[in-house]
Amino acid sequence: MREVTTPVLVEVKSDAAERLRVIIADPDALARRVVRDELQSHADIVVIAEASDGVEALELAQHYRPDVVLCEAVLPRIDGMGVTRVLRENAPDVRVVIFAVSSDPDLEMSTLRAGASGYLTKDMGAGPLAPALRGVARGEAAVSRLLTMRLIERLRAVPEAGNGMRPVKSNLTSREWEVLDQLVLGATTSDIAASLFLTEDTVYSHVKNIMRKLGVRSRREAVDAAERLVSLSLAA
């Protein structure tokens, strides 16, 4: 039987409303304590609660509506990306920053796409967290210089105006059209994975969904169907 943990509620002083309100979600109690002590050494930040898994993080965040949830990527029950998606949908005023053990290009892109305001790694230590979270509260992103460069490279890879046009009426998602654009250019699965910062398994999944939605059985047929959709859209 799984041991039931109790969310940690932190005693908050009466002036907490004037400070940056943070919830920490991490399965490691020692890690939570280190981060809490660092953040609360700053007079303008208060940790209002702690969670040891994703379900607790969601319950606490939706109840207390903090400014920021600092969330470990790997959490029991619901992971950091799942927490991000749910809060993005149900509590869009709550910002989420993923605080992961290590850098992972696929996970970084996926969590930002899911709605996270930042992705930081624990090898940076707890010291830079306070200014990063203040920036997130002001509407800024909390990302490393390396991740910033990856985002720039991805922007450079986006087709210029006139290329990769999407029909107005289509049941494909934006990501599926990005994959389909690459197929039109003759890219292989590994090429698409590298270009869009995805795993090859993720690319296979997108291609499968594309073929199902377009009612085709091969990548060549999917490309032909896409070109017909674009032509019909332009002619409309």
Question: Tell me: the pLDDT tens digits for 89-110?
Answer: 999 999 999 999 988 888 898 8
- pLDDT-based confidence at residue 159 (cuts at 50, 70, 90): low
CATH of the domain at 36: 3.40.50.2300
Q: Is the pLDDT of residue 30 over 60?
A: yes
Lowest mean pLDDT among 40-44, 133-137, 204-208, 226-230: 226-230
User: Buried b / exposed e across 37-64, counting CB within 10 Å, b at 16+?
Assistant: ebbeeeeebbbbbbbbbbbbbbebbeee
Last residue of a domain, one of 100, 123, 152: 152
Task: Give pLDDT tens digits for 4-28.
Answer: 455 565 554 445 558 999 999 999 9
Residue 148 and residue 166 in one domain: no
- Count of structural domains, the chain: 2
Residue 2 lies in a domain: no
Q: Which domain covers residue 34, as residue numbers? A: 8-152
Strand pairing class (8-9; 45-51): antiparallel
Last residue of a domain, one of 118, 152, 186: 152
The predicted structure's pLDDT at residue 157? 62
The predicted structure's pLDDT at residue 231? 58
The predicted structure's pLDDT at residue 235? 46
HSE, side-chain direction, 13 A CA sphere, residue 105: 13
Residue 204 lies in a domain: yes
The predicted structure's pLDDT at residue 22? 98
Q: Is the pLDDT of residue 161 over 80?
A: no
Task: Give pLDDT tens digits for 185-207.
Answer: 888 998 888 888 888 889 999 99
The predicted structure's pLDDT at residue 1? 47
The predicted structure's pLDDT at residue 15? 52
Q: Is the pLDDT of residue 152 over 90?
A: no
Residue 204 and residue 144 in one domain: no
The predicted structure's pLDDT at residue 169? 65
More confident residue, 156 or 121: 121
Last residue of a domain, one of 95, 118, 152: 152
The predicted structure's pLDDT at residue 230? 66
Residue 129 and residue 177 in one domain: no
Task: Give pLDDT tens digits for 112-137.
Answer: 888 999 999 999 999 999 999 999 99
CATH of the domain at 230: 1.10.10.10
Q: SS3 letters for the chain?
A: CCCCCCCEECCCCHHHHHCEEEEEECCCHHHHHHHHHHHCCCCCEEEEEEECCHHHHHHHHHHHCCCEEEECCCCCCCCHHHHHHHHHHHCCCCEEEEEECCCCHHHHHHHHHHCCCEEEEHHHCCCCHHHHHHHHHCCCCEECHHHHHHHHHHHHHCCCCCCCCCCCCCCCCHHHHHHHHHHHCCCCHHHHHHHHCCCHHHHHHHHHHHHHHHCCCCHHHHHHHHHHHHHHHHHC
More confident residue, 230 or 47: 47
